Every structure is written in structure tokens, then in C-alpha cells.
Amino acid sequence: MACLRQLQCFVFLTVISLLPAALAESTTLRLSLPGCPDKCGNVTIPYPFGTRPGCYRDVGFQITCNESTSTSTGTPPKVLLGTNLSNIEVIDINISVGETRVYKFIAFRYYNMSDQVEFNNTKASMDLTGRPFLFSHRRNKFTVIGCYNLAYIVGQGQESYQSGCASFCDNNLMNSTTDGSCNGLGCCQTSIRSALHYYEVQWGFKNNPDWQFNPCTYAVLAEEDWYKFQVQDLSQFDFFQRNKNGVPMVLDWAIRNNGKCQDGVEKSTNPACLSNHSICNNTRNGEGYLCQCMQGYEGNPYIPNGCIDIDECITRDKNPCSQNAICANTDGNVTCSCPKGTHGNPYTKDGTCIKDPEKFPYPARVAISTILGIAIFVGLCLLVAAQQQHKRHMKEKEEYQRYYSMMDNYLRVFSKKQIEIATDGFAETHVLGTGGQGKVYKGILQDNQVVAIKKAKEVEETQKGEFVNEILLLSLIKHKNIVRLLGCCLEVKIPMLVYEFVPNGTLFELLHGKSNYRPISLGTRLRIALESAEAIDYLHSSISRSILHGDVKSANILLEDDYHVKVSDFGASNLVPIDDTQIVKVVQGTRGYLDPEYVATAVLTKKSDVYSFGVVLLEIITRKCAIFRDETSERKHLASYFVSTVSKIKLHELLDKEIVTNDEKVIEVLHEVSHLAVWCLSVRGEDRPTMKQVVEKLQQLGRFHSSLLGLEKVSEDTESLLGESTFYSTSDTSAFHSTGYSSVLEIETRVPR
């Protein structure tokens, strides 16, 4: 038993002794894989780079640590890209931005006394093909040094590349002792394109007339900030001696054999971003991606658990807290707070936490008293307002009782509660549509009758009496092609009208609905047009006071199951005086259907409805929306497009292909319908037909078309109907195309007045 206790104590002490080492290891930055060296001399070798098999991601990231030179010379070992056969010496490797700085030999030419090139070096090219490296176009510049020196950089990426620059000297430069930048005098620099993996230097001029002053010229792709021009570099050989072992060049590296971040590379079988709290970013040079630690973390994102939390509280330049604030490090973040008893801004260097004031000092007591006084005053005001509102409600109730008694003999009067029950409290699922006059809801009354309930826009207090009188007049409308008004509710501030429900959608949905396309015969279209025209004509002329619809459009023409028409959405606001006109404060209606004369004058007339009906007639025969997009996706106004185009192209190119046939009689019917629509679209209202004339013409066309189908016997007058058109003579089959109409805002009608 004693032995068992001793064993338990030994295990416990062992775990305790190993715990600090484990914690230290978990918070220590690791750059290489376990068991792999992370240094070669003074150069850090982070993974995915490595010097041994199994220590690098693939051969493209292999590093050679050549210690033979250090043994013989006492200098640090050389770090080479690839194997010992490589002559590319590494200066440093940066995994944060994906850069490796290396040494690169300078290309030079030496001129002899005959002004001829005596020697060219051949070590200036570099080939990185097949490796994860590209020449950095952001950090490098192609630099040319010398008098009368033209050099080219010839490279290869996804395609061939060539660029270069030339430098010259003048007497002032040769005699100057002032150094400067590479501006073309003695030295020039130029940028390179991205995604290059190979380059070499080629020379332009074969002679150098300034060889006595400048016997040696140079060219190299090097780090941009490496070289500062000195005049002595032209006349002496110190420049070559200083840089004979190479100059710094920057290479961009990335994971290039695995796709891009958006390709889902980190979910592949060989991901590169192995650490938690790491992210994938596409490289800015060529194809591929880099890994980075998230904000608040640092380390190597390419190895498991390589990104560790930064303790901003102990790092002076990363601590965001003010001087006297409390800093608390969290995983990937930091929080700052003021000490207890203080307040202020703890998050900025200039912020301060100041001592809290005393509780309830005199200014605070004054402020609280003031607030209480204001609250009592506001409460009294609200009480008075509530009493006034109650009085108004009582007065409104008395007025509505009087209105009810007036309307009870004409219409069914609904209570507010009945309307709310029928529409489930005006639920959005009951909304049938929204228009210029208000919202329309589907409702089910207590006797299961389905109705349409229109919640109109707000009516001013002084207009309620007039509104009731106008509803009484609307109740007199009885026409088979007009939605019947069943009743109303005046118990609310916004009056509501109850209409019969029409179940088969609208003409707009039939013509333009994409989800349930249905073929429509010419006969059906003519009947829909005729019944719509008859309904509008009835509103204009068949009751004691004219009613202007004001918003004639295909969306306001409802259809029953057999496609019979029910015109809807004519409101009390459109009742007009005896002179058949109404001046409005704001022009209302639907784009594509608005009468241009109404838009210009704000005077609504019967002829405004005629114009809108003309647009509907075009919709019926073209099956295009009033505002549509053509083949080039350009928005077009159907009325202006049809009127301006019909004289330029054949009619059948404008009409719905479904109703165009080779039958000349049918084509003549389509000609007549088209001209009727154009007549309705005359710019001046006085040049348009009345709705009664429209009805008569559509009746004639309907009878004639029915005779073509053998549905009724045609009289001699009907057979000659199309030959005696009031619009044009059909003796010439091209007559329709020579009418000369321009745009809908410019045409002069040819219809006799």
C-alpha cells in the first residue's frame, strides 16, 4: 500500500514538473516543423521552407545550407535556393508577406580603347520556372547604369515580355560631384510586369562614345531601394568591386500548385494553412495563395498550432489601453477598462480614466428635479390631449351615424370589426395588390362570401361628407363588365370600400405572366378589348355624373374564369363636374399609361382614359408591357415605340407572333386594331376618339373576325367593313407602313375630327 502511494506521488510530481514546459512550448513561436532546424547561419528558415527531406512542403521550397564556405573562411554558411547546384543565395525569408530576398549578379559590359565591347558577363539571367517564385514587380526595378547605355530586360511569364531604358551623360554630369536619383542621366530605372519567372539582360548600343569617362556599363533587376546613384560609379571600378557577389533582389513566393482561396484549397487533401486562427489570401503576383495568422495572433500559419495569441498587454507598441487603464488579454483580442471608482475612455493612448464624481451632488439633484417637473408637465399635456381626442371621436361617431342613415338604403354598411375579421386583421397574406388609390385585401365575410376590400388613402376631414355622397353615386353603377361596389365602412379614419371578388387574376398577368404562360386567340383578345372599352364608356356616359377612371391599365382589368372582363380600381376621387374635366393638384397614374396632355396641364379628361386604353390595346396585340426592354435590354415606352416604328417596319414584326397569320383578312383586322390604338394615342385629346367610337369600332371588328371563323353570317356591309376604314385605305397593302407617324409626343393624327 505504501508503494502504491509512493508511485502516485511520483506520477503527480512528474506531471507538475512537465506542465510549465508544456505551457511555455504552447506560447512560444515555432517557425519550423518539429525536429527540423529553423536556422542556417544568420538566416531563419521557416516552414514551408526547410533544409532536410520532410522539413519542406515540396522541392520548390527546398533550402541548401552550404557550410563548406564557413569552414574554410570562418564566415556564416551560405543559404541557397534549391540544391548546391543553385547559385541563388538567400538573404532572408518573410512568411508574413510571402517574400524572399536573394543576391543577384550584375550584368556588365567593358569597353576597350577601340570603343568596342571587350567583355560581357553571362551570369545576369535567372530562371525560376517550375518553382513557387516570381520576380516581385512591386519591390524590384530594372536598373541601368552608364553613359550611352541602352539595356533591355527580356522576360517570360504567361507570355513573353520585353522592356528597358537608356541612360546618357552630358558634360555637366561628367564634371559634377553631386549624386542623385536615376532620372536618365547616368542612370535610369523602369518597373517590370507581374508574373515573370524568367529574365535575361540584352544590350542595345554596341559602342560607347563616352568610354574614356565610363569604361564599364551595368544593368540588373534589383530591389528598388538598393541603389542610390553616385557619379563616381561611372568613372571608377569601385561599383563592380562593391557588388561583384551580387545585389539584393526580391522574389514573391506562394503556394502555387493548389489553386486559389476561392477554389476551396484549404478543404483539399493537401492544405497549406494548417494552423488554427489562420486565413487564406490570394497572392498579388501570379496564381496561388498565402496563409496569414488572423488579427490578434502571430507566428507561422503553415504549421499546426503555429498562430499563437499576442499578449497586447505586455507589448508596449500593441497595447491599445490608456496609461492608467486596466488591460486584460483575451484570445485574439484585448479589453481595456477603467479601474473601479473611475470612468472615461480607456482605449486610446490619449484617453484617461478620471475619478467618479460624488453621488447625487447639488447639480444632479437640480437636474433630477427638473426632469421630474418636465415629466409631470408632459403627463398633464397628454391627459388634456386624450380628452380632446375622446371628444373628437364622439363627434366622429355622431357624424358616422348620420352617414350610415343616409347610405343604409343604398349600400351595405360594414363595421370596422367585420372588416378586420374578414381580412384577419389586414394580414399581408390577404393583400391582393397595391395601387395609386390604396391597398386591396381579399376578405371572407361571415356568410362565406369572398370580397375585395379596398383601403383607400386618407381623406381630409372637410371632404368626408362629399366622399359619402360620391360613394352613393358609385353605388348606382351597374354594368356586367365593372366590378360591383357591395358596401363600405366609414367607421374608421381611412374609409374602406367592399367590392365583389374576381378570381381569375388580371389582364396584365394573362399577357405578361412568365410563370403560367397561356396562349390567347385573336378572338379572345378582341372580346377582352371590347368589354373593357364598354365598361369605360359606361363610366363616361351612362350615369348622371361622369366618372373618369384615371388609371386605366392592364393590371386594373380583372378576368373571370371565362376571360370575361371586370374593370376595377375606379375611385370616388375621380368623380368630375359636369364639364367632364378635373384639375388635380398632383398628377397620378402609372408610368407608360399616362396621357401626355394630362401630364403637361394637370387636367384630367375623358380623353385621358382614351389614351390609357390605347396603351392597353397595344399590350393586347403585341403582348409587350407598357414599359419593356428590347433585345438590347434598353427600356422602351410601348406607345412611343409602336407609333414611331410602325411606319418603318412591317406590322407583323411588332405584333405578337401568336396572332399573326398568312390570312389577308386577319391581317386587315390587325391593321384596323393597330390604327385604332394609334388614334387613341393622339397627342392632343381633341384628336382622339370617344370611348363610344372605340366601342363601335371594336364591335365591327369583332363581328368581322367572327365571320372569318364561320361563327356568324356576314352581311354585305360587314364584308366591306375593312375597305371603308376611317383610318386609311387598304387598297394598297403597304398603306399601314406609309402613314408617317413619328413619336407619341409629336404625331399629328390623320383621323378626321
Q: pLDDT tens for residues 706-749?
A: 888 774 444 333 343 344 444 433 333 333 332 323 222 222 22
Sequence-separated (6 or more) residues with CB below 8 Å from residue 639 = 592, 614, 615, 618, 626, 681, 744
| Grid coordinates belonging to 16 | 507538475
Could you tell me the domains of the chain? 39-94 (no CATH), 99-253 (no CATH), 261-309 (2.10.25), 391-500 (3.30.200.20), 507-738 (1.10.510.10)
Where does the pLDDT of residue 141 fall: very low under 50, low under 70, confident under 90, or very high at 90 and above? very high
489 beta partners: 496
CA distance 663 to 668: 9
Spatial contact of 508 and 449, defined as CB atoms under 8 Å apart: no
Range from 283-287, 494-498, 551-555, 721-725 carrying the lowest mean pLDDT: 721-725
Nearest CA to 727 among 685, 686, 673, 684? Answer: 673
State what percent of residues in the chain have pLDDT above 90.
45
- Over residues 62-86, the mean pLDDT reads 80
Burial 210-241 (b: 16+ CB within 10 A, else e): bbeebbbbbbbbbbeebbebbbebbbeeebee
State what percent of residues in the chain have pLDDT above 70.
80
Q: How far is CA 542 from CA 197, 478, 487, 545, 578, in A?
A: 87, 10, 21, 8, 13
Where does the pLDDT of residue 6 fall: very low under 50, low under 70, confident under 90, or very high at 90 and above? low
Q: What's the pLDDT at 67?
A: 83
Answer yes or no: is pLDDT of 159 > 80.
Answer: yes
Q: What's the pLDDT at 595?
A: 93
Taking all residues of the chain, what is their mean pLDDT, rounded to a whole number?
82
Where does the pLDDT of residue 593 fall: very low under 50, low under 70, confident under 90, or very high at 90 and above? very high
pLDDT in tens, 605-642: 999 999 999 999 999 999 999 999 988 889 999 999 99
> Residue holding cell 371590347?
530
pLDDT in tens, 225-248: 899 988 888 887 888 888 888 999
What does pTM read for this prediction?
0.47
Annotated catalytic residues are 551
Residue 57 CB neighbours (<10 A): 18
| Grid coordinates belonging to 320 | 491599445
Spatial contact of 151 and 117, defined as CB atoms under 8 Å apart: no
pLDDT in tens, 366-398: 888 889 889 999 999 999 988 888 787 777 667
